């Protein structure tokens, strides 16, 4: 939809992000959260049994 609104073209069959692997995060669980898509009814207590949990969240100061 964004492509239609702004008249952009993109080849979605090609990778858009390339990063080097970070082996320090092997066997870790990453959970991405945002202010827009926050499940207030989700109880994250079940994750306590896993030792390597990392939450990734956009800082409120980075709002566009």
* pLDDT(6) > 80: no
Q: What's the pLDDT at 19?
A: 86
What residue spans define the domains of the chain?
Answer: 19-64
Q: What's the pLDDT at 44?
A: 82
Please tell me whether residue 7 adopts helix, strand or coil conformation.
Answer: coil
* pLDDT(48) > 60: yes
Taking the chain, what is the end-to-end CA distance rounded to the nearest angstrom? 19
49 pLDDT band (50/70/90 cuts)? very high
Mean pLDDT of 55-64: 64
Q: How many helices (H) and strands (E) does the chain have?
A: 1, 2
1 pLDDT band (50/70/90 cuts)? low
């Amino acid at each position: 939809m964004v492509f239609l609104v702004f008249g952009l073209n993109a080849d979605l069959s090609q990778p858009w992000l390339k990063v080097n692997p970070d082996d320090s995060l092997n066997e870790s669980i990453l959970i991405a959260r945002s202010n827009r898509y926050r499940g207030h009814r989700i109880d994250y207590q079940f994750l306590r049994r896993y030792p390597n949990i990392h939450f990734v969240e956009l800082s409120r100061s980075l709002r566009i």
